[in-house]
Amino acid sequence: MEYKLQNAELKVMSVLWKEGDLTAKAVSNILKEEIGWNMNTTYTLIKRCIQKGFIERHEPHFMCHPLVSKEEVQQQEISDLIDKVFDGSKNLLFASLLGGGELSEKDIQYLKELINKLEETDGET
């Protein structure tokens, strides 16, 4: 399944990923506090997410349940970015990220550990 969420829809999904299942009213209250959206805006976006298959509605009280995980959407977005901006090359994306030169020692250590884990996994197959 392809996960195409608009920025506003991502805000609705982010609330559900962070908080878990909530009523539409609770989602609306959170987004009103965080962004200033009114109830109609939030309900419209929730209904759009339901139509796209990202949220499932349960009764009572218009309970919203996310049908896709944050990680699934992140992977799709990364894949789209790599295809669109880096001609499908993960190497070019990685080089671009590292070329910015704004990595902390902690970031560099994390990346080294990640690469080591990937090398270990490749050696097992």
When the candidates are 1.10.10.10, 1.10.10.350, 3.40.50.740, 1.10.760.10, the CATH number that belongs to 7-70 is: 1.10.10.10
* Other CB atoms within 10 Å distance of the CB of residue 48: 16
pLDDT tens digits, residue range 35-51?
A: 999 999 999 999 999 99
pLDDT tens digits, residue range 82-112?
A: 999 999 888 888 788 777 767 788 988 888 8
Domain ranges of the chain: 7-70, 93-124
Which of 26, 4, 22, 27 minimizes the C-alpha distance to 77?
4
Q: Is the pTM of this model over 0.85?
A: no
Which runs of E-coded beta strand occur in 18-62?
A: 22-23, 55-58
